[in-house]
Structure 1
């Protein structure tokens, strides 16, 4: 035979079908699993295609939020906008995110992952070209601003569509040995987009040219939505085998109204932990977002250029990416049961770094500022996916918990941008229009959040349930595999592997 062919029929024979109804719900106290309903967990190669697609789509969806941050002054001059209007080009995305964060989990429940991504891809293109339409020369100032901000608002709808799905996708497609790593890779994609946005926007010419470049990038990546699928034929874990809980299930659980026999039931301790986690996550992520949006206004009064301001924001995010790549395998293999402990170790470092900016933002301190940005980035981006995973552990509701954490960060982002804009010094200050009081505000709030994290216990309930279920499979003696290792099978498509 010239090539080895793996057909749909062959794959389906080796892949037992598992219905969500075949797996018993896991109560909040003890994990009860019926031996007769368990089947061998499997993972599929196609999961990596979906993962790469979601990462790239998240990168591009994250660019518009901070695109105008490093070029705020240039944008204001070219289009005759005010600085406050330019700030709202980022702030409107945070504000739009809030209702969308509630709607997206319900959209997933009704349409599924794949169709929801199709909607996100369509809106990504629409946002890009509506934004560019605002740069045409015959338009008045108000007309240009209206189109640009409408494009940004549509981007605010796109961002949660690709951002909220990360924990849910990793739960459906990855086993216990890879789930945290998959979540980390998708979670840091949006901040990577912010980093690239800060690098690209000041380097590609005028603000008008940069908006065109953003439209081209957005259009080019949209076809990747066709690589994202809803769920594998057979689930990799007990959690993946269960039907995805609705957003209203999460609301009932937080209100203490969810029945105790359901896996989504939350104790008072778990509800308290989630509120603490959402607050800390919101403040620390919003601190990064706010600095990215206001980086030019923070640094230009002290004679730093747009390019240096953009590079500092990019350093924060790219060093964080490197730290995440290094630490991701540790959380799947060594620190698997210590997510809360990790949060309590990293938060004080982040708070201290933001406080140090009060003294570091001054003339001729480029090296010190880059060092602080590297510390904030490495600690914050390592913490970000850990917090997302821990939220799912507390709630057993991946889509709703992720949506609420990101909604918290965007709410805090709106408050921070408006507050720090109001704290800008006057033209008579030394230096004029400096953001010294705004930097004090950000450092104080970040430090307060770092202290609050110590009120969280953070017990990992979902992982305990999955591990006990897999231990029961291992003791049944009817499978040829060792748990928790999973059988990896090829996609249900023909793959040519050469002559045999």
Structure 2
């Protein structure tokens, strides 16, 4: 195999390419071939089918964690009344959740690398269960409801990276390379599906403060059941330990240094951190954006449902297409400017006379965001190979969640006062979102320019092909 430039060119002390080795010291060429047969469906039927249960569990856990994240946002006034606090503090329930992601991220990298996706899911399940009942406890007392609820929210935020950063690693472990984007999309995009359920179900269930306790109890029970199922997830394909399935070769610190030197990583990291942050912030305050302009909370919930539902439909179409034709770079360069244009268009939507334009542009933002995310995660895993996929994925999500939490904290201060032409509007927040999306576009457009086309080799695929030839 010819020498590569950039990250893929790293060699060991003997001068051999390291990207053909696995991370486990006891992993042999024979075990790699066995793993490959299982991934391609050539092993036993029972082995091949086990992967679907783990994927289903990842989907469920991402749904329930993001549902818990936006428990209080779709009806912020009712939540503020129940928790005996202000709407601005209710926003901190989302902000604290997002910022807590960074606390759990380092442990996610270590546990996923050491114990595999199952270990990460078990930790997430136990943490989410405990946090859910802490939040329910807050509903049963008269005082200190808000601080106890905030602690529960933050604890759920700590659990999120264990399942949000895991899908691409799980896809690497159980699925053939040709289908990884679709698998990553299904598991990762379950996260906003939970947010959509919260946007739609929450306002219907909770119409007054006295009903919020029962809603929290329901979510606590669901979280406990789904968390328990994590213990039954298969750990790894036969012949492969959970800690030796990805093609990783160095310590985490060494891999971080490799990423810091990768131009392609940074050109992808910046726009996708902005994408994640803008979407998280936008979906958290959508109801507060629309209600001051005369929309009902139900219409705000429908807009949130359209935002996420359209994203799922488009991602279901685009992910297999990008997988089949390997057009990652062209796809990113086309859709990122369209996403920025959609955020810009939404600046004028709340003041429109009809709710229909708002629904349409919400759908466009969701469609472009959801379609870009799994492609970007898979793209950066390819161009930074043999860095472990869970490391690059966790860094992407951590940057997006932390920036999203920071953005929520900032835009909470941009709400207009009662003397404004539209009292308590958040139009300035929409301008901030549009500016951020526009800032991200040039980073994507310069990918592959200035003589760096060689950096976009699909190194994961090349590594498997090299192993097969040898």
**Counterparts of 1:377 and 1:253, CA distance in 2:** 33
1:63 paired residue among 52, 57, 67:
67
CA contact (8 A) 1:195 1:313 kept: yes
CA contact (8 A) 1:131 1:147 kept: yes
Task: Quote how far apart the aligned CAs of 1:327 are.
Answer: 2.1
- Residues 88, 293 of structure 1: alpha-carbon distance in 2 compared, 3 angstrom cutoff: same
Q: Normalising by structure 1, what TM-score?
A: 0.80
Unaligned segments of structure 1, at least 5 residues: 1-24, 256-267, 474-500
2:213 paired residue among 202, 208, 215:
208
1:61-112 CA-to-partner distances (Å, cap 9, x unmatched) read 1112222221111111233211111000000011110132222101223343
**Counterparts of 1:65 and 1:215, CA distance in 2:** 12
- Residues 241, 139 of structure 1: alpha-carbon distance in 2 compared, 3 angstrom cutoff: closer
Where does residue 7 of structure 1 map in the other structure? none
Structure with more of its chain in helix, by fraction: 2
Where does residue 146 of structure 1 map in the other structure? 147
**Counterparts of 2:164 and 2:251, CA distance in 1:** 17
1:342-397 CA-to-partner distances (Å, cap 9, x unmatched) read 11111011000000011111153310010001111111101111111112112222
- Residues 32, 52 of structure 1: alpha-carbon distance in 2 compared, 3 angstrom cutoff: closer
**Counterparts of 2:237 and 2:464, CA distance in 1:** 20
Greater Rg by CA:
1
Where does residue 364 of structure 1 map in the other structure? 353
1:113-172 CA-to-partner distances (Å, cap 9, x unmatched) read 323322211111111110111112x422xx111211111011001111111111111001
CA contact (8 A) 1:322 1:378 kept: yes
Number of aligned residues: 428
Higher relative CO (Cα under 8 Å, sequence separation at least 6) belongs to 1
**Counterparts of 1:133 and 1:307, CA distance in 2:** 28
1:380-430 CA-to-partner distances (Å, cap 9, x unmatched) read 101111111112112222111001000111122022112211111111001
Task: Quote how far apart the aligned CAs of 1:190 are.
Answer: 0.7
1:116 paired residue among 113, 117, 120:
120
Where does residue 45 of structure 2 map in the other structure? none
**Counterparts of 2:223 and 2:316, CA distance in 1:** 25
**Counterparts of 1:47 and 1:385, CA distance in 2:** 19
- Residues 161, 387 of structure 1: alpha-carbon distance in 2 compared, 3 angstrom cutoff: same
CA contact (8 A) 1:291 1:313 kept: no
1:290-314 CA-to-partner distances (Å, cap 9, x unmatched) read 1111112111111111111121112
Task: Quote how far apart the aligned CAs of 1:244 are.
Answer: 6.9
- Residues 468, 342 of structure 1: alpha-carbon distance in 2 compared, 3 angstrom cutoff: same
Name which of structure 1's ranges 112-121 and 381-390 shifts more when overlaid on structure 2: 112-121
- Residues 463, 251 of structure 1: alpha-carbon distance in 2 compared, 3 angstrom cutoff: closer
